[in-house]
Chains A and B, each alone.
Chain A
Amino acid sequence: MLEVEKITKIYNPGTVMEQKLFQDFSLVVEEGQFIAIVGGNGSGKTSLLNIICGTIPIESGDVRIDGESIVKRKDYQRYANMGRVYQDPSAGVCPDLTMLENLSLADNKGKPFNLTRAVNRSRIKFYQEQLQALGLGLEDKMDVKMGSLSGGQRQAVSLLMASMTPLRFLILDEHTAALDPKTAEVIMVLTNKIIREKGLTAMMVTHNLRHAAEYGDRILMMHQGTIVLDRSGEEKKKTSMEDILLMFNRISTQ
């Protein structure tokens, strides 16, 4: 269980630019829950993810996993059982390294990066099977530099890399926003498959209201650092894209 309790986040504290985003903001994420988060620009969606991952600090409050506070842990320590995919397809891979080198890096997460060979030849078959399942024809591109692949291909590999080793939490930060509609669909289906197969607890920020309505067990709509809509279970299933759009238009015209 992931708990965010009474957090306060102020940008540029003590300056004329001071901006209070969260004040006593709380959220409880159940184990195995897949949450879709929507909201306008500046509503605090990405800030929330960044606070959970330790990318940005908070002024007060607590973030806990299974009751244990992780606020004092550095970002890289928090990623031990967390994976993250970003909006920018280049952010999840090393563009100058080959596909094989990228996958080898991800495969070694949680193990020491010592002086043994980086690429384990006996794992290539496993990588190729994983890539084949994507259906993008990537299994033959092991020695190709990631930078020369398309955005959609890179994002698919990012997703694969983020979820390659055992993990509990998957953080998705508008990870389909930079892709064309068809590729976005492919990535979304793949995302859902990975989350369900591995039983991950996932938080997905998205601007695609249809994805938010169709996928996930719970939907959150955020506005100016508060949750204005929170539906789960049967209630979430009944929520259509039109409902979300209506709510979205209402808060943005206020």
Chain B
Amino acid sequence: MLTELLISTLTQGLIYALISFGVYITYSILDFPDLGVDGTFPLGAAVTAVLLTNGVNAWLTLPLAMSAGAAAGFFTGVVHVKLGVRNLLAGIITMTALFSINLQIAGSNLTVPRDIDTIFTSGPVMAVFGNMNTMGRKLVVSLVVVIVVKLALDAYFRTKSGLLLRAVGNNPGLVTTLAKDCGSVKLLGLVVSNALVALGGCIVCHEQRSFSATMGTGQLVYGLAAVIIGISILNFYAASPAARALRNRKALRWLAVPAGTTAVIFGSILYKLCVQAALSAGLPANMMKLITAALFLLVLVLSGRKGEAIIHA
């Protein structure tokens, strides 16, 4: 029973790490608290639910949901960069608009019937992991998806485009003197971020076989908490004697300074574990968002980042 709970929490943590990757790009790299996440997450789920119920191949829903998310991110970017609306408000506009759009796409809250294959029950997965039980399969597939996305992101951050994205968050003035428009770079960051968040929504829809209009509430807070926990652990670890010892060994140096994306995965899992622990301690499921908010506040205070970046961004 406890093992099952742990496996399902771990799976949840992994899937929701996808959202945290998106938040990592906007909040941590670009210093842009994108509230649009609360709309893009259910958008990914809505698109996926409709496509699945219409018999579209399960794996095809991933790029399609990501495209929808990318479009939403592009909209937020245009509102902020081209129309000059403040970043927080630009996200709120997208989030609010998406609530209706998501319902338009899905019609209403939608359930994916049992006889339709999701990525967890699709042919190729069953061929390889068919002998595992459903829970184990979900964990393995989620892990593979998250690792693939993580490696792709790490590779992207090492490209010229990725380096410019990091530079915009770090010192926009410098990027201007490099004759590059910071606005376009931010726009690109929002597109990538929201595509990832929608991918998170897509996988969640596969996992729970449903879309609900309110499933986006609090997702940005979740993503932020995961990112801040992850980065705090990363900083703590990087300053530890263990990491220092590893730094002196050439072959193991990569272990001394883990990528931000790795930190975010751990942050996400840890946060899900905390929420699950609170629920297991007897708090009713209706209290979930309250627990999420309370834990986020705790994380902010403990990490010393009381959201100054959010307010002044």
Residues of A at under 8 Å CB distance from B?
74-77, 79-80, 82-84, 86, 90-97, 101, 104-106, 108-110, 112-119, 162
A77 to B179, alpha carbons, bound, how many Å? 6
- Assuming the contacts A94-B171, A97-B170, asked whether A119 and B180 have C-beta atoms less than 8 A apart, the reply is no
Whether A162 and B159, one on each chain, are in contact in the complex, defined by CB atoms closer than 8 angstroms, is: no
For A93, list chain B residues within 8 Å (CB): 171, 174
Q: Which of B39-47, B54-62, B160-168 contacts A (4 or more CB under 8 A)?
A: B160-168
Whether B182 and A76, one on each chain, are in contact in the complex, defined by CB atoms closer than 8 angstroms, is: yes
Whether A79 and B176, one on each chain, are in contact in the complex, defined by CB atoms closer than 8 angstroms, is: yes
B19 to chain A, nearest CB (A): 23
Whether A118 and B159, one on each chain, are in contact in the complex, defined by CB atoms closer than 8 angstroms, is: yes
Since A93-B171, A109-B179, A162-B177 are in contact, a sample of 13 more A-B pairs with Cβ atoms closer than 8 Å, ordered by chain A residue number, is A75-B176, A79-B179, A90-B171, A97-B167, A104-B163, A105-B163, A105-B178, A108-B160, A109-B178, A113-B161, A117-B159, A118-B158, A118-B163
- Assuming the contacts A76-B182, A117-B158, A118-B159, asked whether A83 and B177 have C-beta atoms less than 8 A apart, the reply is yes
Whether B177 and A84, one on each chain, are in contact in the complex, defined by CB atoms closer than 8 angstroms, is: yes
- Assuming the contacts A94-B171, A97-B166, A97-B170, asked whether A106 and B178 have C-beta atoms less than 8 A apart, the reply is yes
Whether A116 and B159, one on each chain, are in contact in the complex, defined by CB atoms closer than 8 angstroms, is: yes
Whether B171 and A76, one on each chain, are in contact in the complex, defined by CB atoms closer than 8 angstroms, is: no
Whether A113 and B163, one on each chain, are in contact in the complex, defined by CB atoms closer than 8 angstroms, is: yes
For B164, list chain A residues within 8 Å (CB): 105, 113
Residues of B at under 8 Å CB distance from A?
156, 158-164, 166-167, 170-171, 173-182
Among B159, B162, B174, the residue within 8 A (CB) of A92 is B174
For A112, list chain B residues within 8 Å (CB): 160
- Assuming the contacts A97-B163, A119-B158, asked whether A113 and B174 have C-beta atoms less than 8 A apart, the reply is no
Whether B174 and A94, one on each chain, are in contact in the complex, defined by CB atoms closer than 8 angstroms, is: yes
Interface centre among B156, B162, B177, B179 (most CB of A within 10 A): B177
Of the A-B pairs whose beta carbons lie under 8 Å apart in the complex, a sample of 16, sorted by A's number, is A74-B181, A75-B176, A76-B181, A79-B177, A79-B179, A90-B171, A92-B174, A93-B171, A94-B171, A94-B174, A105-B178, A109-B178, A109-B179, A115-B160, A115-B161, A162-B177
B159 to chain A, nearest CB (A): 5
A57 to B181, alpha carbons, bound, how many Å? 17
A93 to B172, alpha carbons, bound, how many Å? 10
Question: Nearest residue in A to B173 (C-beta to C-beta)?
Answer: A91
Q: Report, nearest first, the 8 A-B pairs whose CB atoms are least far apart.
A: A118-B163, A94-B170, A113-B160, A113-B164, A79-B179, A80-B179, A115-B159, A109-B178
Question: Nearest residue in B to A101 (C-beta to C-beta)?
Answer: B163
A108 to chain B, nearest CB (A): 6
B259 to chain A, nearest CB (A): 14
A102 to chain B, nearest CB (A): 8
- Assuming the contacts A116-B159, A117-B158, A119-B158, asked whether A95 and B171 have C-beta atoms less than 8 A apart, the reply is yes
For A109, list chain B residues within 8 Å (CB): 178-179
Question: Nearest residue in B to A110 (C-beta to C-beta)?
Answer: B179
For A94, list chain B residues within 8 Å (CB): 166-167, 170-171, 174
A189 to B73, alpha carbons, bound, how many Å? 48
A144 to B232, alpha carbons, bound, how many Å? 21
Question: Nearest residue in A to B180 (C-beta to C-beta)?
Answer: A76
A49 to B19, alpha carbons, bound, how many Å? 43
A109 to B179, alpha carbons, bound, how many Å? 7
A174 to B207, alpha carbons, bound, how many Å? 59
Interface centre among A94, A101, A116 (most CB of B within 10 A): A94
A162 to chain B, nearest CB (A): 7
